[in-house]
Structure 1
């Protein structure tokens, strides 16, 4: 599992370990956000005999291939990537290395692995571009040819690279388009996380898009349900299958903030800002394909998920009150 010290990787690895899997984790612990949080996630595996963490860079093809050979790996969950839409405006080459070179290194290692069974990799709802609500969720066969950010463009490029490798070399792949994942152990660059920090510190929050944006917020445990379900149901050998994985219930940004204020017991001072370059007004996952394949059904509503996150945040950062 690449990105095993990341948000989704950490949660998924624990789920796989709980059902008796052996997991080899790979992460480079970069400083896109506080590496101490990544180290703390990694520390939760210390009592797990079926887990081994290897510190390495997925953009190093030799290292990735060697790990695959040494451990006889036949299934890969590839979640390591450079995330963040706004960060891509100022750090474009981080995306070229992590997302493009990194994905290619994983593909090459998988195609040379004997008896390889399935690659599941992270794509993103960002590939759908700048869209507004139309009365239905975004579908996997919708046009994805107008990315609104470099991040989105690299994620779409990864899908196309996988399409070519599935066709050329005949090993099954599943690309998961994640929709706004949140929850305990989450990423500090995400809005709900930074809002929580600022509200508890008595600082104002910046609300972009004048608060008119909406997101298909999806609790991390629900994401893991869908990811593991997809891993257990590989497509035919020459197929690169694309699946949405979200909540299918978009929530307005101002509504999310109101729920968060209730959960934290504090009101936020809001500084309204215009839409930022690369941001999209709305996301909404049509999850019918994943549901039909695995029985996937999100269970955790936003109010409960934010309550769980706030409890974790106060405990992890030792915030009183």
Structure 2
């Protein structure tokens, strides 16, 4: 089956080619993201493969359908960039990678937490200039601290397991509580407990209309003063302007993010030789207690291999008329 692969980076090509040795699809790699300007490149392809910041709104889906596209394969877990109702109306099937390596994202969240708490980023820059002074590098022991996990699915539980190992008290919030989270040693928070008690808040929930800006001026005002916020999930969970205000006042003690609300125009590309026209991001990056990574939490050999294998297996299921194991229904 011929597939147009959008937003194809060198590592995508390497791992997709390796996985495709077992599947035998014809992959056309496109450097460009899928959007209104590039959707024409998909004409004639029965299936396309897209990533987290590719756009698949109703207008783009209509163009895809006219061009003969019947399948969209997301090589990621999140699907907030696809208009599922429009896809269903147009008869376009949508599949995703339901499970790849929750450990990869959870471990990156821990890496960000450790770095922002122990000021590793600042120490690294200092020692590169042979400045070994310790002033301003004070952190705190994780052992005995309270960690709030927002979203207790597979990634949230993997993060919980690590935090429990550090000796933290873990409290959680999820619209769909699971006994697996409690079996790890976590407990679900009562009303107000996260704001009053959490020294660290880590986000592991999907972006939905209900979770959009779950971190906002109101929740930040009710947070424990000096708490750290970690986000390796989706940028839209956080109201960045509100976070900047909380950082400026000291209400928020530090921020470490791998995702950003307006990342589609910035992430996954080298902008080091340009002036980035994003005032919010520019202001965010001026804070010494902020760390930003470019949506790399998923990027381990194990995770990317599984992502590519699962994506191509879903395409094979579609081509051969099998039930789609990883189909996203409009009810999702």
Whose radius of gyration is greater, 1 or 2?
2
Higher helix share: 1
| TM-score interval, normalised by the smaller of the two chains | 0.3 to 0.5
What is the TM-score of this pair, normalised by structure 1?
0.34
